Amino acid sequence: MYKVMIIEDEEKIRKVIKKSLEKWGFEAYAIEDFNNIFEEFVNLQPQLVLMDINLPVCDGFYWCNKIRNISKVPVIFLSSRNSNMDIIMAVNMGADDYITKPFSLDVLMAKINAILRRTYSYSEVNLDTVAYKDVILSLKNNTVYYNEKNIELTKNEFKILQILMSKPESIVSREKIMEELWEDESFIDDNTLTVNINRLRKKLKEIDVEFIKTIKNQGYVVK
């Protein structure tokens, strides 16, 4: 079942879209707090976003750009604004489609289903991020984001952090990490792992992230 995030400030439209999505078998999540849209997106990990342009606090272009920094999830704009400039801006920000209001629910559902078919093959849903305590690891570009700061990781650093963040607050042994990296053809040994862990910690500290802990004789944990 696909998760669809609805970012629409007009309550009546929001409820109608949500009801229609649920009727079609989707998990529909309607945003009501327009201050924390990006955090809601990261926590929800939707497979598609429906976005209005005229929103409180920041407009849909701003939020689409924020989402595009970490994810390739399909975004459809729904707006009463129908100028060529608005449509061009939406496309430039990474939108996959643009539907002007008023619109037919049947047309909206047809477009949603078409985009989902093109994006996700064989019902396989691939997430673009891993998140823990406001730290976001983008699987799209090997970049870590935290409080408007970001830093790019090497292949090994990225893989190590992905392993640890995928099992937050659980101890992962050094052997397990090396095994995962060897399978990924990174060919990392015990000494190399130590070097990579130290480099990773140093990079994360640059963006005020210090959550990789060493558990003596056991391994590492993110907490």
> The CATH number of the domain where 155 resides is what?
1.10.10.10
- Looking at the structure, tell me whether residues 14 and 73 fall in a common domain: yes
One domain for residues 114 and 60? yes
Q: How many domains are contained in the chain?
A: 2
Long-range pairs for 23-28: beta carbons < 8 A, 24 or more residues apart: 24/109, 24/113, 25/1, 26/1, 26/2, 26/112, 27/1, 27/2, 27/3, 28/3, 28/4
> Tens of pLDDT along the chain (223 residues)?
789 999 999 999 999 999 999 998 899 999 998 998 998 998 898 999 999 999 998 999 999 999 998 888 999 999 998 899 989 999 888 899 999 999 999 989 999 988 988 888 644 555 678 888 888 898 878 899 888 788 999 999 999 999 999 888 999 999 999 888 887 766 777 888 999 999 999 999 999 999 999 999 899 999 9
Give SS3 for 64. helix
Instruction: Indicate if 93 and 201 belong to the same structural domain.
Output: no
The whole-angstrom separation of Cα 76 and Cα 90 is 9
What is the extent of the structural domain holding 197? 129-222
DSSP-based three-state secondary structure for 6: strand
Domain shared by 33 and 79, yes or no? yes
**What CATH number should be reported for the domain holding residue 25?**
3.40.50.2300
Six token digits for residue 149: 């700061």
Same domain, residue pair 24 and 106: yes
Q: Which of 108, 123, 138 is the last residue of a domain?
A: 123
